[in-house]
Every structure is written in C-alpha cells, then in structure tokens.
Amino acid sequence: AHLALATNYQIFGKYYDKMLYHYEQAVKSSPDNRKVMGAYYTLAGENLKQGKYDVAKQYAEKFISFGEIPENYTTEAQRIIASINFAKEKMANPLPFKPVSLGSKINKDGRLQYFPVLTADQNMIFFTAIGLPKKSHSEDIYISVKMN
C-alpha cells in the first residue's frame, strides 16, 4: 500500500513530503524485497537533492546491493554515491574563497550578478546579471575585458 501511494504521489507530482514518507515506509516494512528497490533509488536521489548525504548514500548502496539492475540505474546510483563522496570531501576541505569587488564598472548596485567565469588567460570575465536597467526581470550576459 505504501509503495502504491508513493508511486501515485510521484506520478502526479504533488504532495512531495507524502511521497517521501510512503517510500520510506515501504522500505521499512520490506527492506529486502526486490519490489521496493525502486523506492531505494528514488529516496537516494531525493535525499541527495536535500543535502542529506549519509541517508542518500545508504539508500543508493542498498539499491545497488539488489544486483541484476539495468545498467543505466546502476550507473546513476554510482553517480549519486560519487557525488556524495565528492561533496563530503570538499565540505571537509574547502578551498579558500575571498570574493573581491571588481569596482563600480563591473559590480553595479541594484543588479543581481551571478555565474562569473574567467577565461583561461584571465583576460575576460563573463557573468549574468538581472535587475538593471529599469528593474527588468530579464537576464543579460555581460563580458568584461581586462585592460593593461
């Protein structure tokens, strides 16, 4: 019953919390039943999205442990585990990050700026901005060239 309810909630795209609850109940009630292995797969992905890495990893590992799974699902479950391992390692050993304003010609008040990318030679920066002029809601891509 829990598995059927969760599946319906997932299909209709509503009641996200109920979907998770019923998938969790399904795996608790029959943890080694192959009928619930799809629930493990879904729970792994959803917990990864929520940043619940340890829980997501447990679900992904349990999913893989069923064996005889189509390769694309196994690959995705392995990708989830690799993403978790990467995220946890980077959170434990973050790179130093000290943002510095590039001055008023680049960093404008009232404009949300994001996704900056430097070219390999570090002579150009591309970024996205929203908000100016006229407080529009359209995004614009900007390029700034370094002048010697």
- Chain mean pLDDT for the chain: 90
Q: Using DSSP bridges, classify how beta strands 112-118 and 139-145 pair: parallel, antiparallel or unpaired.
A: unpaired
- What is the model's pLDDT at position 17? 94
- What is the model's pLDDT at position 130? 83
Contact present, 127 and 113 (Cβ < 8 Å): yes
- What is the model's pLDDT at position 148? 76
SS3 assignment, position 12: helix
Q: How confident is the model at residue 74 (pLDDT cuts 50, 70, 90)?
A: very high
Instruction: Kindly state the average pLDDT of the residues 50-79.
Output: 96
Sheet holding 124-130, edge to edge: 112-118, 124-130, 139-145
**Backbone dihedral angles phi then psi of residue 32, each to the nearest 5 degrees:** -110, 10
pLDDT digits (tens, 9 = 90+) for 82-95: 999 999 999 999 98
Question: CA quadruple 32, 34, 35, 37: dihedral positive or negative?
Answer: positive
CA dist., res. 54 & res. 59, Å (int): 9
Question: CA quadruple 120, 125, 126, 127: dihedral positive or negative?
Answer: positive
CA dist., res. 126 & res. 140, Å (int): 10
